[in-house]
Amino acid sequence: MKPTTGHRRQSGFTLIEMVVAMVLLGIIAGLVARTASSSLTLANNIVQTQNEEMLHQAFLELLARRFSALPPDTRFDLKVQDSGSHYLSDITLQNVPMGFTWGGQTRIAKAIQISTVKKRSGYLDIVLKYYENEILEGAESSFGSTATSKEPFAEIVLLTDVAYFEWRALDGRSMEWQYDWDLQGRLPLQLELVMAIGAKGEEIRQVFWIPPKRATTNG
């Protein structure tokens, strides 16, 4: 009589094991994809932040070079207006001739202006404006000029999405800070800029030195 043999367990996976394996594989794949996506987003944010910081630093360096190289006869004017939600400012530099090519033509700007422009979004644009004629009151070439001659012939947006952008000027005689400056024949000793970019941007505070006018001597 032959001995009876028990039922052997079939080799391979059962349906339940296959389902469990597929579920686990899906979970692992999802975690890997989520981690990769988070890493990619973080890398993009880091690159964007670095690019923005480089742009902001280049903007501050541009201002520092411009203010430190002002000619002795520069006419400086700072006007600030309270718009309710922002302080809007215009810094005008006159008697600072600047020649460059614009629209294929060589142009000379007799006055430049750094202006804050309020946008519908609630943020500010910082705009550099070039004027072909002198625009400050009392300038010799401004007498008899038309309104259209005081319009800028070129505008360049330097910064966008600025939360606030505020100037003040240090009077070298009284050593007091002024929020407006219209003193003819005098330049402030320092300019202080306080600004922030975007809703969560950190406050940036920068002080610019302006070289004093040199006394002229009769030879």
pLDDT for 160-205, tens place per residue?
A: 999 999 999 999 999 999 999 998 889 999 999 999 988 778 899 9
Rounded percentage of the chain residues whose pLDDT exceeds 90: 40
pLDDT of 141 higher than 80? no
pLDDT at res. 126: 95
Which residues on neighbouring strands pair with residue 181, listed in sequence order?
78
Residue 16 resides in a domain: no
Top-confidence residue, 175 or 41: 175
109: confidence class by pLDDT, cuts 50, 70, 90:
confident
Residues 45 and 50: their CA atoms lie apart, in Å, by 9
Top-confidence residue, 16 or 185: 185
Write b or e for each residue in 99-124: b if 16 or more Cβ atoms lie within 10 A of its Cβ, otherwise e. Answer: eeeeeeeeeebbbbbbbbeeeeeebb
Residues 116 and 87: their CA atoms lie apart, in Å, by 9
Record the tokens describing residue 213, joined without a space: 């006018």
Q: Yes or no: say if 85 and 92 are a contact pair by the CB < 8 Å rule.
A: no
Residue 18 resides in a domain: no
Give me the domain span that covers residue 192.
70-137+149-209
pLDDT at res. 189: 94
Domain count within the chain: 1
What CA–CA distances, in Å, run from 106 to 92, 95, 113, 153?
A: 22, 18, 19, 12
pLDDT of 15 higher than 60? yes
Task: Say which DSSP state 137 is in.
Answer: T
For residue 201, the SS3 value is coil
Residue 172 resides in a domain: yes
Mean local confidence (pLDDT), 49-70: 81
Residue 43 resides in a domain: no
Residue 130 resides in a domain: yes
Q: Yes or no: say if 164 and 194 are a contact pair by the CB < 8 Å rule.
A: yes
pLDDT at res. 188: 94
Which residues on neighbouring strands pair with residue 115, listed in sequence order?
90, 127
Task: Work out the angle at residue 75's Cα, subtended by the Cα atoms of residues 70 and 76, and round it to the nearest 5 degrees.
Answer: 80
pLDDT at res. 214: 58
Residue 132 resides in a domain: yes
Convert the pLDDT of each residue in 77-98 to its tens digit: 999 999 888 899 999 999 887 7
Mean local confidence (pLDDT), 104-121: 89
Residue 185 resides in a domain: yes
Predicted model pTM: 0.70
